[in-house]
């Protein structure tokens, strides 16, 4: 029996570099801002598959710079992590595959 498709729209290859920012809790009163560069593997109208050097968790919000459907230049977007999976790269080094959904675009700075 075929597995039903969960996505509302088809995924298309993307393969672009995406700078990102996310907050990590340090303790009850402090968070640390983590910045880095990830890779967009594919995208749909509702989400994007990312390969990140930092671990992320379901329901975590991540700000990424990615091209939009309307224009090729990158714009800031906030995505929610839906699922994540560690990918061994070499030795003890891991990358993290994260399926995300778009929440909203951030306004462009003037």
**pTM to 2 decimal places:** 0.80
Give 8-49 pLDDT, tens digit per residue. Answer: 677 788 878 999 999 888 898 998 899 999 999 998 888 999
Q: pLDDT grade, residue 92 (50/70/90)?
A: confident
Cβ atoms of 62 and 56 closer than 8 Å: yes
Cα dist from 4 to 13, 67, 102, whole Å? 21, 29, 22
Task: Give CA angle at 49 (48, 51), nearest 5°.
Answer: 130
Q: Which CATH number fits domain 12-105: 2.30.110.10, 3.40.50.720, 2.60.120.10, 2.40.10.220?
A: 2.40.10.220
């Amino acid at each position: 029996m075929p597995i039903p498709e969960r996505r509302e729209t088809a995924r298309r290859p993307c393969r672009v570099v995406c700078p990102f920012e996310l907050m990590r809790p340090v303790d009850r009163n402090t968070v640390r801002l983590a910045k880095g560069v990830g890779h967009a593997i594919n995208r749909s109208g509702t989400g994007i598959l990312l390969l990140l050097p930092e671990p992320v968790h379901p329901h975590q919000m991540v700000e990424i710079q990615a091209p939009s459907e309307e224009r090729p230049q990158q714009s800031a977007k906030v995505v929610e992590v839906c699922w994540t999976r560690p990918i061994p790269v070499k030795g003890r080094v891991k990358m993290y595959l994260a399926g995300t959904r778009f929440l909203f675009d951030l306004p462009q700075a003037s």
